[in-house]
A and B are shown apart, each in its own frame.
Chain A
Amino acid sequence: MCAAKNTDPRIQVVAYNEDTYILRENPCVNWEAPFTYLLFGNHGALLIDSGATPEGSYYPLRVTVDEILSRWCGIRRKKSVPLTVVLTSGEDIAQNQGIGQFADRGETRLTPLELGARMEFHGLSSSWKQGLGRIDLGGRVVEVIPTPGTHKDGLSFYDAYTCLLFTGDLLYAGRVQIANDRDYVASLERLQQWKQSHAVKWVMGGHIEMMFIPGRGYPRFSTNRPFEHVLELEAGTIDEAAEHARGVVGKPAVVFRKDFILLNRVSPDEKVYQDAPNLPLVPVPYWVSLQ
C-alpha cells in the first residue's frame, strides 16, 4: 500500500490498563514508528519518549496525550494531574522530536536533552552508570536504570505496578544497533541482575522492526509492515541478548536471533536479510518487505 494514501490514525493508542497507555507513531508519518508510553499514578503522569516527528500537525502527540489525560482525570475523579516527560535517550532523534510540543504546557516537567543535565534531572549526577533514579507518580514508582550501549545516554524505566521494563533502543524486536559494545553488555548484565530482584512481566522496546518470521527484519525506512512481530518481549530475551552481545564484543558482527538482530560495529544497512544458519529460512517475497 502507498504511504501517501494511508488512513490509519497518526498515533495508535492502546490502553494496556486504565492507568497505562501505549502510543505508536504511524510508520507513514515516520518510518521509525516509535512507541511512547503514558503511565498514571495518584499524583502524576509520566510520558516515556516523545516520538520522531516535531510537527504537531503530522504527529499530534501533545493533543493525544492531553485527551488521554483529561479522559483519565474523568475516570479517576481528578481535576488535573501534572505531567513529566522523560526519554530513554536524549540524543535519539527517533524519540526526542515530539518533546517540543510540550514546551508551553502548564503543570509539566520536561527532561533536558543534554546528558549531564538529564542525569541531574533524574538524580544521577555522579557515577551515573551505577546509579538508580526514582520517579514517584503517587503510589506508583517508576525506577530509572542507566543503560548506555545503544546510546551513550541510554536509560531504561521499570514500572513496579505493571512490572513492565521500558528499554527504548537497548532491546526491542528489531535491528538493534550497538553504539558501544562494552557498555551494551554491561547494561544488559545490569538488567539481568535487575530481573533477579524484580518481576519483569514484559520488556517493552521503542520500536518493532522484525517480522513474525524468525530472524527476519524489515529493512530500514519501510513504511508498510504487514506481518510484524509483537511489541512485548519476554524477560528471558535479556539473557539471550546479553549472551550474544558478549560473543561479539570488539568484533564487527551481525547476530540474527529469532526475536531481534544485533548489529555491532557495522553499518546500519549491513545484512538486511537473515542468513543465520541456526534459523529456518522462510522465503519472503522481497517486494513485500520493501514496500
Chain B
Amino acid sequence: MDMKLPVDLKSLDRRTFLSLPVVSVVLPAVAAAMTPEAEAMSVPAAPAVQNGPINFKAGVPAPGSFPEKWICGSSSCMDNHDPPIQVHWYNEHTVLMRQNKAYSFEAPFLHLYFGNERILMIDQGYTQLRTDWPLRDVVDGCIAGWCAKHGRKVEDMELLLAFTHLHDDHYVGINQFYDRPNTRYMGQTHEEMIGFWGMTHYPEQRVALDLGGRNILIWGNPGHVFSEFAYYDTYTQILHTGDMFYRGRCYISFWDKWFTSMKRLMAFLEDHPVTWVVGCHVEISRTGQDYPYGITYQPDEAPMHMPVEVLKHAYEVAKTITKPGIYFTGSVFLCNETRNATTVDKIAYAYD
C-alpha cells in the first residue's frame, strides 16, 4: 500500500537537488511525484476499497461546507476567547484554518489537503513561536485525527509545507515544523520554490502534485509579488488564489504580471470546473465596507470564499484599468500599484 517512489539519485539535476533537503536524500523527492498534468490526470482512478485507498476521483467535486462565520477578532484583543486557530473541516479530507486576529491582525487562512500518501499544507500563518500560537499542535491534531479515522499511521504520511507566496504573514509559522519528522519545506527563495514543484517555466507551466490519488494543480500566479502560486484541488475543485485575488485589498505590485495572471486564470476556468475561489484574507464587510489595514475586529465580515463570477467580473473591471489607483469591483478592491497597506480610509474628524 506504500506507493512512494524511490529517489533515483542518478537523475538529480540542480532542480531536483534544490527540492531535496541535503540531510535527508533518502526521502522521496516531491519532484519525483510530479508529472506533467496531462499524464497525471490520465492515471486510472483506484477503486474505493473499505479501509483501503480513498478514491479522490469519483464523485467530484467532493461536497464541502464553509463555516457560517469565521472568527473575526474582538473589540478588546485581550478579551478574545476564540481559539488561537479556527479549524474547519470543509469535508473529511480537507481542512481550512484561520489565525485569530488577536494573535495576528493579518488573520490569514491556511489549508490542509489530505491524500492517500501525502498531506499538503498551504501557508503557515504569522506567528513564529509554538508557545505563542499552537499551530503545530493543531495541525498534528488534525493529522492524527484523520489518520485514526482512515486507518493510517501518522509516520507514513508525508507533510508538504508550501506557500502561496513569501510574505511573512504566510510563512513564519513554518518554524514550528522544523523538527517534525517526514515533513518537507518548499524553501524560501524563488529558485527553491519553483524547484520544489519541479517547474522549469515559471509562471506559465502548470504542474500536478499527486498527494496519492488526489491531484493539486499548481502554476505561477504573480502580481501581488513576483513569486506566487495558484493551487487548484481537483477533489474539491477549489481554486486558491492567495493574496493575488481575495475578498479585500488585492495589493497589486506588478500590474502587467497580475493582469497576465488574471488572463491565465480565465483560461484555466475555460476547461476546469471551479466550485469556489478562495484567498488568504478577508478585509471587507458584507456591505462592501473596507476594514483598514491592521484592524483587529471585523464584526460583519464578508465570506472568505467567492463564486467564480466574482473573479470573472474582476477581470472585466481590470480590463478597463489603465493607471495606478484603487478600484472597487463591487466585491474586492484592486489596489493597482499603490503603496502596500493602502486603505480607503478618510480623515475621520475633518471639518471646514
The distance in angstroms between the C-alpha atoms of A241 and B40, with both chains bound, is 66
Q: Does A281 contact B (CB under 8 A)?
A: no
Pick the residue among A1, A26, A219, A268 that contacts B348 (CB under 8 A). Answer: A268
Q: Does B127 contact A (CB under 8 A)?
A: yes
Q: Is B76's CB under 8 angstroms from A59's CB?
A: yes
Given the contacts A2-B127, A2-B133, A290-B294, A267 and B102 also touching, CB distance less than 8 Å = no
Q: Which chain B positions have C-beta within 8 A of A2?
A: 84, 102-104, 127, 132-133
Q: Does B352 contact A (CB under 8 A)?
A: yes
The distance in angstroms between the C-alpha atoms of A2 and B344, with both chains bound, is 27
Q: Is B80's CB under 8 angstroms from A180's CB?
A: no
The distance in angstroms between the C-alpha atoms of A2 and B133, with both chains bound, is 8
Q: Does B180 contact A (CB under 8 A)?
A: no
The distance in angstroms between the C-alpha atoms of A259 and B118, with both chains bound, is 54
Q: Which chain B positions have C-beta within 8 A of A152?
A: 349, 351
The tally of residues in A whose CB lies under 8 Å from a CB in B reads: 40
Q: Is B292's CB under 8 angstroms from A92's CB?
A: no
Q: Is A291's CB under 8 angstroms from B126's CB?
A: yes
Q: Does A203 contact B (CB under 8 A)?
A: no
Q: Is B349's CB under 8 angstroms from A91's CB?
A: yes
Q: Does B260 contact A (CB under 8 A)?
A: no
Pick the residue among A3, A177, A272 that contacts B102 (CB under 8 A). Answer: A3
Q: Is B126's CB under 8 angstroms from A267's CB?
A: no
Q: Does A265 contact B (CB under 8 A)?
A: yes
Given the contacts A4-B78, A5-B132, A31 and B296 also touching, CB distance less than 8 Å = yes
Pick the residue among A53, A219, A221 that contacts B76 (CB under 8 A). Answer: A53
Q: Does A269 contact B (CB under 8 A)?
A: yes
Q: Which chain B positions have C-beta within 8 A of A223?
A: 77, 105, 296
Q: Is B100's CB under 8 angstroms from A4's CB?
A: yes
State the Cβ distance, A216 to closest chain B Cβ, in Å.
Answer: 15
Q: Is A177's CB under 8 angstroms from B77's CB?
A: no
Q: Which chain A positions have C-beta within 8 A of B346?
A: 267
> What are 15 A-B contacts with C-beta separation under 8 Å?
A2-B103, A3-B77, A3-B102, A4-B102, A28-B76, A28-B78, A30-B76, A31-B296, A177-B347, A179-B347, A180-B350, A219-B294, A220-B292, A266-B347, A287-B168
